[in-house]
Structure 1
């Protein structure tokens, strides 16, 4: 199971599937929240996840198995709702406090 210390996170990818705009909204919100920690936030399709060490992928829970298959090296953080999901705050807290993140 991939894991990373939150203080080592340099990039978070918000992975999407249908391109309906909801995940773009999540990425934009996270960009603002994580900028102060020097974390880059990007938005790409789940089937195009890169092979990068220390990668954290945030995606809707329905896409999590595909994200894990596409990027088995990445820490995949699933969420259930696009606005105000507790996973967003937990991700930010782990980065801010240097806590571990696991798939």
Structure 2
């Protein structure tokens, strides 16, 4: 059986994350996108240490859609090099998994 899968990303602001998230949910590549504002980041970029404010996005999907979701995310993302981290889910509540599968095109009927 297909497993649940999470994709972690960051965005410059909540409105951008919500817009991209809505596109991905409408495309049925993700069942849900959680947008968490208020993150402050320190990161290395092109030889310098930078600071910035970002928002976190956690995208819930099924394992088989992980790569397709990542490609669609990168195509819509405003960053030159978007953060796309795949997080394997060891186990999911059966109801949660059924919902993710149904909302991403599997498990109907």
In the superposition, the TM-score normalised over structure 1's length comes to 0.31
Larger helix proportion, structure 1 or 2?
Answer: 1
The structure with the greater share of residues assigned to strand is 2
Over alpha carbons, which structure has the higher Rg? 2
